[in-house]
A and B are shown apart, each in its own frame.
Chain A
Amino acid sequence: MDEQLNFAPCGYVSIDDNGTILAINETLLRLLGHNLQEVQGQHINLLLSTASRSFYQLYFFPMIRLQNKVEEMYISLKSKTEQDIPILLNASRNERNGKMTNDCVCVPMKRRYEYEQALLTIKKETDTRNRMKKKQIAELDRLRHELESKQNELLALNEELQRLAITDGLTGLKNRRYLHENLISNVALHAERSQPLSLLLIDIDYFKNINDNFGHMMGDKVLQGFGQLLKDASRIDDIAARYGGEEFALILPKTDKLGALKIAEGIRSQVENANWDLPTITVSIGAATSLAGDTENALQSRADRALYASKNRGRNRTTHASDLE
């Protein structure tokens, strides 16, 4: 080996495809603490740690064989005293005297190794933190979705409860509680706007007889049938409610006496002419229309009196409270 290469400021070793060391320079021998006799003709494994031996097999050899060169490979050498010596290695594959040799040069990279180790550690920590952050965000996201869906369930449940709380179970009409609340607000609203508001109270005639003669099932069917008829007769803003038993009510916003009587008469005749699979069913209706300074109680009791009058006058008829005096 020529003097310049032997003492060049970099390590030099050439190995054959079996890993046998063919030549090695003094610089590298000194770095490793070996002498030439100990190393020449030996397997490169002599200079490698267990991990490096595998690395050599898994990466160095396939690369030099496939690409004829290796560049900037980090690998750790093992000194005679079993110290790890990190080096940076370049290699090229050359044919000399008809044989293939893999020529390697290397420089120790102790300080650079320390820096890179430190950077790698920080990078790993950052990666770990990022992974944790991602996981936490995913978890938060999951919780948010869960909360949202629970909230939606709760809202739907509330809506359903609210609907049930104001609905008459048998007929699906509004119940008495709702009727009462709605009447209060509607009376106030119509008074404020000086608009007429009418109320119909409707009672199915001789309902007790239906129950007694045909059974409660049939009675319920009649209540349901009438509920449907009332619903169909309602305009969009009208409120149809079951008052209790066989008594029903219909709130008619923005409706005066004439309008109310027309609607009431329509309902009465529809009931009379409907096919109930029973002896004729009829209803009695009491109507009232709000006056200036009216309260819902006053309106309701006038409608009640009118209903009573319809009953007294032979049923199957409509009476308006204002016609009573």
Chain B
Amino acid sequence: MNQHILFRNNINITGKGTKAMLFAPGFGCDQNMWRLVAPFFEEHFRVILFDYVGSGKSDYHAYNPNKYSNLNGYAQDVLDICAALELKEVIFVGHSVGGVIGMLASLQEPDRFEQLVMIGPSPCYLNDHPDYLGGFEREDLEALIEMMEMNYIGWANYLSQVIMQNPERPELSQELEESFCSTDPTVARQFAIATFFSDYREELQKVTVPSLILQCSDDAVAPIEVGTYMHRTLSESTFRLMDATGHCPHMSHPEETIRLISDYLTTIYAGSISNG
């Protein structure tokens, strides 16, 4: 069972500490996304990286369209990982949809999580006028998914079929696999739909685990209104607006990302020590 989970989600463990930090990538990418941030925490933590089923070096055979048709399927995998590694009171760090996945997992088994660090999270991408601004109209999201299809999803199926008939050109398949952080095309499409058409606003108020929200300036995917909405709705949340722009501060501004996370953790644990 444990070995199976470790293999399924391509789990990699490093670090000298005992307290676990579990890093969940965002949409469309794998654990490589963390390579500028995660190593910093190896000095004091047990750093755990993984890939979603269907991404990176996960076990693509484990993909089940029903299970992963919404984010709870991915949340279950996070819980499986916690169970397989016997993790408790984890510091969960999730980028984008990874943060929401961690939040959903914490609703199932709150004891597994001590802190949720969410980078550019959004509980709902669609605008719900006039009370909620997710940043997107339906047409925008459809155009986004179409763009993904034009680039990759719509074609890779065909291409992979062509490639299978061209065994003398293995380099072609290799190239395809490396592109787009290697996500299986049909999986990516379903993941995109599960992510961008989801609405987990109702779940926010049920979260009991304390959280840190890292909000980028000028993020086209998760605008500042979304970050402040999350901060308002999550009961024990801390909100930090970053100097970083874009949606991937852990790649574009790793120093600031590291600083804000470690400052937060230092405050939390200094507090707990003085209280204790």
Interface residues of A, Cβ cutoff 8 Å to B: 17-19, 43, 45, 49-59, 61-63, 65-67, 71, 73-76, 113, 116-117, 120, 123-124
Contact = CB atoms under 8 A, between A and B. Distances in A.
B220 A123 contact: no
A120 B154 contact: yes
Given A52-B147, A59-B28, A66-B181, A123 B247 contact: no
B181 A51 contact: no
Interface stretch (B104-112, B136-144, B260-268): B136-144
Interface in B189-232: 218-221
Contact of B148 (A55, A62, A66, A124): A55
5 contacts: A51-B144, A58-B28, A66-B32, A71-B179, A120-B150
Contacts of A49: 140, 143
B103 interface: no
A18 B251 CA distance: 11
Interface in B221-276: 221, 245-248, 251-252
Interface residues of B, number: 34
Interface of B: 26-29, 32-33, 136-137, 140-141, 143-144, 146-151, 154, 158, 178-181, 218-221, 245-248, 251-252
Contacts of B32: 66
Question: Which residue among A45, A51, A65 has the maximum number of chain B CB atoms within 10 Å of its CB?
Answer: A51
A57 B28 contact: no
Contacts of A120: 149-150, 154
Nearest to A65: B251
B180 A59 contact: yes
Nearest to B153: A120
A12 to B, nearest CB: 21
Contacts of B26: 58
Given A18-B245, A18-B252, A66-B181, A58 B143 contact: no
A19 B245 CA distance: 8
Given A52-B147, A65-B248, 19 more contacts: A18-B245, A19-B245, A43-B245, A45-B218, A50-B143, A50-B220, A51-B146, A53-B220, A55-B147, A56-B220, A57-B219, A57-B247, A59-B28, A61-B248, A66-B181, A66-B251, A71-B179, A75-B147, A124-B154
Contacts of A54: 136, 140, 144, 220-221, 247
A71 B151 CA distance: 10
A67 to B, nearest CB: 7
A119 B190 CA distance: 21
Contacts of B158: 123
Nearest to B143: A51
Given A59-B28, A63-B180, A45 B251 contact: no
Contacts, number: 91
A281 B35 CA distance: 99
B151 A73 contact: yes
A17 to B, nearest CB: 5
A96 B247 CA distance: 24
Q: Which of B147, B219, B247 has the most CB of A within 10 A?
A: B147
**What are the 8 tightest A-B residue pairs by CB atom distance, in nearest-first order?**
A51-B143, A53-B220, A57-B247, A51-B144, A50-B140, A74-B150, A65-B251, A120-B154
A19 B147 CA distance: 20
B221 A57 contact: yes
A53 B125 CA distance: 14
A116 B150 contact: yes
Given A50-B136, A51-B140, A74 B147 contact: yes
Contact of B151 (A43, A59, A61, A66): A59
B32 to A, nearest CB: 6
A57 B147 CA distance: 13
B138 to A, nearest CB: 11
Nearest to B150: A74
Contacts of B178: 67
B246 A19 contact: yes
B211 to A, nearest CB: 22
Contacts of A61: 246-248, 251-252
Give the residue among A43, A45, A58, A75 with the most B Cβ atoms within 10 A: A58
Contacts of A62: 28-29, 33, 181, 248, 251
A15 to B, nearest CB: 11
A36 to B, nearest CB: 23
A57 B247 CA distance: 6
B176 to A, nearest CB: 11
Q: For B27, B137, B220, which residue has the most chain A Cβ atoms within 10 angstroms? A: B220
A63 B151 CA distance: 13
Contacts of A124: 154
